[in-house]
């Protein structure tokens, strides 16, 4: 019964997307998309004789980096070490992060990948986006992670509904997305997004997903107006694009989140929409903390199932 419900939801979504729904230029998650990292300095070189602290180039080293400033205070909600370890990433490879916003994860991924000889690619908002918020977000990211920023050679590419290509087909080893799928649903291109992830990944390549989770007992809004998405809905989207589900994790679960708030997921920290309104009691939402999130790992199959023909010799 659950599978039928999800497929029915996908069909409904497809109709909305094909119907050319009127989507505002600035999606409702602007506050989260454009969060800016504080200017706290760049990664400092580590002396070969230094023995204290994590080993230089390790994931622990990148997470503990002082260049992260106050962003590290949110690790208790976002669990970056556990999440990235669950994804099973090889830092000596090409890893693409989709819509990194202000760079919360980029501050970890870029130096870690750089120190291990890999390539970090930020598929960011288009530099000439019609949205002023997205243009500001892109400019801020370039200023922080561009040449001279101390994060290595960060490749920044336009990505969005008008420019879906992520690079040469089969060129990437992993694609990561954190809290973005609701935006693509709102924009009517979530299916096209997953199809491009499949296209750019090599056979066996990984797709790591973190997204705000809607309880499976609630009806899925095809436009995800609340910012929450059913886990089964995301799995169905990925499978439709050709991915196989490797594993799920409760690393980023938050049982205190009912996913039913006045301003959707943006009522909760860090966005806190509405907290400045007269008479609004923010205490219950502050107590909840950040949202309940699914954490999913997919893989592009090694083959398409076609077996080579036997030799006639």
What tens digit of pLDDT does each residue of 158-190 get?
999 999 999 999 999 999 999 999 999 999 999
The residues spanned by each domain of the chain are 2-18+54-299
pLDDT of residue 33: 41
pLDDT of residue 109: 98
Name the pLDDT band for 23 (thresholds 50, 70, 90): very low
* Mean pLDDT across 206-211: 98
* DSSP state string for 100-112: -TTTTTHHHHHHH
43 Cβ partners below 8 Å, 6+ apart?
65, 67, 111, 150, 151
* Mean pLDDT across 247-264: 98
pLDDT of residue 148: 86
- Average pLDDT for the chain: 86
Contact 202, 300 (CB under 8 A): yes
The lowest-confidence range among 32-46, 148-162, 187-201, 245-259 is: 32-46
Q: Which two tokens stand for residue 32?
A: 């989260």
CB atoms within 10 A of CB 146: 12
pLDDT at 216 over 80: yes
Distance CA 155, CA 157 (A): 7
pLDDT of residue 304: 53
Global pTM value: 0.82
| Sign of the torsion angle spanned by Cα atoms 32, 94, 157, 10 | negative
- Read off the pLDDT of residues 102-144 as tens digits, 9 standing for 90 and up: 999 999 999 999 999 999 999 999 999 999 999 999 999 999 9
- Per CATH, the number for 2-18+54-299 is 3.40.50.150
CA–CA–CA angle 27, 103, 228 (5° rounding):
40
């Amino acid at each position: 019964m659950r599978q039928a419900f999800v497929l029915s939801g996908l069909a409904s979504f497809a109709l909305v997307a094909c119907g050319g729904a009127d989507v505002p230029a600035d999606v409702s998650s602007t506050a989260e998309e454009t969060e800016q990292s504080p200017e706290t300095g760049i990664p400092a070189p580590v002396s070969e004789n230094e023995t204290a602290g994590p080993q230089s180039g390790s994931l622990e080293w990148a997470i503990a980096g002082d260049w992260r400033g106050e962003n590290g205070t949110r690790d208790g909600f976002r669990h970056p070490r556990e999440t990235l370890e669950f994804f099973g990433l090889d830092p000596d490879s090409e890893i693409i992060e989709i819509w990194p916003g202000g760079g919360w994860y980029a501050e970890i991924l870029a130096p870690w990948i750089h120190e291990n000889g890999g390539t970090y690619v930020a598929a960011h908002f288009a530099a000439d986006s019609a949205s002023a918020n997205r243009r500001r977000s892109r400019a801020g990211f370039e200023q922080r992670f561009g040449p001279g920023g101390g994060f290595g050679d960060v490749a920044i590419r336009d990505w969005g509904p008008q420019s879906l290509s992520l690079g040469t087909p089969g060129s990437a080893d992993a694609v990561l997305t954190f809290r973005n799928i609701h935006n693509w649903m709102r924009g009517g291109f979530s299916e096209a997004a997953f199809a491009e992830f499949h296209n750019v990944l090599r056979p066996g390549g990984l797709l790591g997903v973190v997204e705000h989770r809607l309880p499976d007992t609630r009806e899925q809004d095809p436009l995800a107006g609340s910012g929450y998405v059913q886990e089964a809905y995301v799995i169905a989207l990925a499978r439709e694009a050709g991915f196989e589900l490797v594993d799920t994790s409760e690393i980023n679960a938050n049982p205190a989140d009912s996913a039913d708030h006045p301003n959707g997921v943006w009522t909760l920290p860090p966005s806190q929409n509405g907290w400045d309104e007269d008479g609004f009691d923010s205490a219950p939402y502050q107590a909840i903390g950040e949202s309940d999130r699914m954490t999913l790992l997919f893989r592009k199959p090694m083959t398409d199932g076609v077996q080579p023909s036997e030799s006639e010799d």
